[in-house]
Amino acid sequence: METKTYPSASLRSFSEAVFRHFGVPDGDAAVAADVLARADLRGIDSHGVARLHSYFDMLSLGRINPRPRVRIVRETPSTATVDGDNGLGLVVGPQANAIAMDKAQAAGSGWVSVCNTNHFGIAGYYCLQALERDLIGWAMTNSTKLVAPLWGAERMLGTNPIAIAFPARTEPPVVIDLATCAAAYGKIEIARRKGEPIPEGWAVDRDGRPTTDPQAMIDGGALLPLGSDRERSGHKGYALAAMVDVLCCVLSGANWGPFAPPFALRQEVPARSVGRGIGHFFGALRIDGFIEPDEFKRQMDEWIRTFRATRPAPGTSGPLIPGDPERRAEEERRAGGIPLLPAVIEDLRDISRRARIPFD
Residues 150-179, interacting with its own copies (CB under 8 A) = 150-154, 156, 162, 164, 166, 174, 176, 178-179
> Per rule CB under 8 A, is residue 183 in the interface with its own copies?
yes
Which of the stretches 5-13, 19-27, 85-93, 246-254 binds its own copies when contact is defined by CB under 8 A? 246-254
Neighbouring C-beta atoms of residue 296, cutoff 10 Å: 18
What is the smallest separation between the CB atom of 143 and its own copies, expressed in angstroms?
16
Confirm if 142 and 155 have CB atoms less than 8 A apart. no
Q: What is the rounded distance in angstroms from the CA atom of residue 182 to the CA atom of residue 302?
A: 30
CB nearer to its own copies: pick between 11 and 104: 104
Pick the closest to residue 54 from 142, 145, 119 (CA basis): 119
Instruction: Please pick, from the candidates 286, 337, 338, 359, the single residue that binds its own copies as defined by CB under 8 A.
Output: 286
* Sole binder of its own copies in the list 92, 99, 242, 260 (CB under 8 A): 242
Candidate list 33, 58, 98, 148; residue touching its own copies; CB under 8 A: 148
Q: Are 47 and 38 in contact (CB under 8 A)?
A: no
Q: Which of 15, 81, 116, 141 binds its own copies (CB under 8 A)?
A: 81
Q: Applying CB under 8 A, does 76 fall inside the site for its own copies?
A: yes
Residue 271 lies near its own copies (rule: CB under 8 A): no
Please, what is the Cα angle at 296 between 291 and 300, to 5 degrees? Answer: 155
The interface with its own copies within residues 121-140 (CB under 8 A) comprises 136
Q: Which listed range, 12-20, 68-76, 120-128, 341-349, lies at the site for its own copies (CB under 8 A)?
A: 68-76
> Bridge-partner residues for 278, per DSSP?
117
**Binding of residue 203 to its own copies (CB under 8 A):** no
Determine the Cα–Cα distance for residues 344 and 53; give it in Å rounded to an integer: 9
Using CB under 8 A as the binding rule, whether residue 264 contacts its own copies is answered as no
- Give the whole-angstrom CA distance, residue 324 versus residue 329: 9
Among 55, 120, 185, 256, binds its own copies (CB under 8 A): 256
Q: Counting Cβ atoms within 10 Å, is residue 175 exposed (0-12), middle (13-18) or buried (19+)? A: buried
Q: Is residue 227 involved in binding its own copies (CB under 8 A)?
A: yes
Sequence-ordered list of residues with C-beta below 8 angstroms from that of 104, at least 6 positions apart, any chain:
78, 110, 135, 284, 285, 286, 289
Smallest distance from its own copies to CB 231, Å: 5
Q: What is the largest CA-CA distance in the chain?
A: 56
Residues 89-118 close enough to bind its own copies by CB under 8 A: 107-109, 111, 113
Shortest distance in whole angstroms from residue 25 CB to its own copies: 28
Q: Are 185 and 146 in contact (CB under 8 A)?
A: yes
Q: How far apart are the first and last CA of the chain?
A: 19
- Of the pair 91, 182, the CB lying nearest its own copies is at 182
CA dist., res. 169 & res. 171, Å (int):
6
Q: Rule CB under 8 A: is residue 245 a binding residue for its own copies? A: yes
Compute the least distance from the CB of residue 230 to its own copies, in Å: 9
Does residue 56 bind its own copies (CB under 8 A)? no
Interface with its own copies in residues 295-314 (CB under 8 A): 295-296, 299-300, 302-303, 306-307, 310-314
Where in 312-331 is the site for its own copies (CB under 8 A)? 312-314, 316-320, 322
Q: Are 175 and 182 in contact (CB under 8 A)?
A: no
Taking residue 83's Cβ as centre, other Cβ atoms within 10 Å add up to: 24
Which residue type occupies 187? K
